[in-house]
Structure 1
Amino acid sequence: MTRRDIRDRIFKIVFTLEFNDAEGMQDQLDFAFDPEMPGDEEDDPLLYGIVSDEDRDYITTKVKNIISKKAEIDEIISQISEGWKLPRIGKEELAILRLGVYEVKYDESIPEKVAINEAVELAKKYCDASASKFVNALLAKLVSGDKDKKESGADATAE
């Protein structure tokens, strides 16, 4: 699977978990990787289907990391989405934002620009037209806010 395919799978699992309690996470992960489950179309390996052990481990680890940091991630989303309460944000957009915020803040192996671009592409694929702009604006605000903090911290230590 490509990294984009993997990210798509992660989004779908994070989205599904929005409708299930934390105790059901392992069941959802098992369900998502069940090779007996058909995809949206016969040839669509993204929703279900056979995944390599390496990709399965990567996906599972990332999903569990996102869920373990959900409270922190949601707080970040609340801060950068001034005027928007989390329940007002669509479930698809929220799952995409959780993945995007996780990748920007906690996954150093993914460049910030790539994380933002991939989140925007997911929003274009799964949400309405305005969602991609919303996701882009919030994640760009997060990145620029982080850069401002780093620069002001560097200025303070230089003095």
Structure 2
Amino acid sequence: MTRREAREQAFCLLFQETVSGDPVDDILRAAHEARDLVPDSFTEGLCYGVEEHKEDIDRMIEGNLKGWNIRRVSKVALTLLRLAVYEMCYEKDIPVSVSINEAVELSKAYGGEGDPAYINGVLGSIAKKHCGPEEKK
């Protein structure tokens, strides 16, 4: 599985978490039972990483929404933002530009018409403020 495919799989699983509020463990277990889904370690790492750091990630997102509240962001866009911010700020081996580009590409497939530009703008702002190379944990 390519990283792009793994990232898309992680997005789908995290979207379910965003909608249902269920823990990632339960979602992964249910996906395996219902669809024989066996995510690779990259997919699982993304899912568990977003879950572990969600409060900090959401604060970063909220702080970069100009005139918006995080509750007004679509579930698709919010899930993509969470996934990309996790990668940008916590995954040392993934360049920030790759994380942004992948989120924009996924938003073209899953989001609304204005989502790619919106996601690009929010992630660009977060990258400048929070996710420089020295910021990655």
TM-score by length of 1: 0.76
Instruction: Name the amino acid aligned to 1:65.
Output: G
State the partner residue of 1:110.
Answer: 94
State the partner residue of 1:101.
Answer: 85
Q: Does 1:4 align with 2:22?
A: no
Please tell me the root mean square deviation across aligned C-alpha atoms, in Å: 2.0
User: RCO greater where, 1 or 2, for CA within 8 Å and sep 6 or more?
Assistant: 2
Q: Does 1:141 align with 2:122?
A: no
Q: Which runs of 5+ in 2 are unaligned?
A: none
| CA displacement at 1:146 relative to structure 2 | 4.0
- Identity over aligned pairs, percent: 32
Q: Which has the larger radius of gyration?
A: 1
Q: Which runs of 5+ in 1 are unaligned?
A: 38-48, 151-159
| CA displacement at 1:143 relative to structure 2 | 1.6
Instruction: Name the amino acid aligned to 2:115.
Output: A
- The DSSP-based 3-state class of the residue aligned with 1:13 is helix
Instruction: Name the amino acid aligned to 2:127.
Output: V
Match of 2:58 among 58, 74, 81: 74
State the partner residue of 1:29.
Answer: 28
Residues 7-86 of structure 1 aligned to structure 2 (within 5 Å):
7-22=7-22, 24-34=23-33, 37=35, 49-51=36-38, 55=40, 57-86=41-70
TM-score by length of 2: 0.87
State the partner residue of 1:126.
Answer: 110
C-alpha distance in structure 2 between counterparts of 1:88 and 1:79, whole Å: 14
